[in-house]
Structure 1
Amino acid sequence: MTESGSNDGRLDTIRVVVVDDQPLERTGNALILDSDDEIEVVAEAGNGVDAIAAVARTRPDVVLMDVRMPVMDGLTATGVIAERHPGARVIVLTTFDLDEYAFGALRVGASAFLLKSTKPAALIDAVKTVASGSAVAAPRLTSKLIEHYLQRSPTRAEDAEAVLDILSPRERDVFAAIVRGLSNAEIGDALVLAPSTVKSHVNAIFAKLALRDRVQAVILGYELGLATRA
């Protein structure tokens, strides 16, 4: 494993920072990821403060973030990283499938959520998926987490029309499909749109609603009560 702030000569390599306060967990995940030819672990950190410094220093594509850590937890660190380094995608790791810390991390900018019991091949696949920009065409576990916690909070249904007014009629259709967890290909099939057209609509929606990725879109949709309409 190297620690570098440059992508020179490694244009296709996915650069990852691994963050966990447990050395065995951290080293194990780093070794798993480094075993793949397309991934390079550029730094490791044992708490949120060190994670923020490592991201600033190495400019990774993906951060694998534990949520429960001393000094600074993963939720706080994720929010800082999302604000300061929007190009770095964060995957939060936790022991429990319905973890309020993990949900909080999704709300402040994480792109995906995985259990620590995730198998090595699935971990590698998740890093590649998030790095590709696909982020979440919402995996069932992430959707379950979002739904569980937002069911306990009042929806902002009264705000829905104001949000939708910003979007064109077709963008509204695409946004509703994103909230349902459809991928771009599935949206194209459902709405009879070319892949390039779907991508253009998705980018426009994210820009108009100031959304980071599909996870943020799904959370907003649930908050606005759109999930029940979709």
Structure 2
Amino acid sequence: MDAASSAQPAPVTPMPVVVLISGSGSNLQALIDGQARGELPIRLCAVISNRAKVRGLERARAAGISCAVLNHREFPDRDAFDQALQRLIDSFAPQLVVLAGFMRILTPALVRHYQGRLLNIHPSLLPKYPGLHTHERALAAGETEHGATVHFVTEELDGGPAILQARVPVLTGDDAETLATRVLRQEHIIYPQVVQWFASGRLRLDEHGQVRLDDQLLPEPLCLDEPAAASGSDYPL
């Protein structure tokens, strides 16, 4: 056997990722577990929260991930906070920034700085119900299905190009809490999947602001129905 035939594949260098949170961090936990199982070619190098004493920080510390708190209330305005946030994120030199329940509207300058490497997950089937209280609004509108969307972040609130969605049927007797619980379970499936695509070089935002997966244009998001995702892990609030 010659040297060429016996050579081993070059190891994949894990992509450095920073995650921004404001609360419980259940989607963060899905990423932590995916990394630990070797399913995600990433290195979670930091978790940043704008709120202290949230469970997401406890999850990060338990996994040995660096944590930082940047309280938005200590800054005079949104621009000043985002400038400090950008400096903090950049100090970890990430190739991807993941918003996982980060309850702040980002300034255009910050979004442009991370264009094409900034992901968010939103609890609705975008473009329906951007913003807050999505489950209540879906129920009030009499929707028969609801869900979650992973998308690239742009300057338009919850308006960036969608990548992957999970559809969840609205059941008779659902309230906002029961519907939110089922949607969240699917978030824990689709967010790691999109991160895996990005970190492995399969997913990108092209120069025209369009999503490409395996270099194929995605004119609309891929979609996962709840029954196909029923085996997903549950990360309690």
Normalised to the residue count of structure 2, the TM-score between the two structures is 0.35
Q: Which has the higher helix share?
A: 1
Higher relative CO (Cα under 8 Å, sequence separation at least 6) belongs to 2
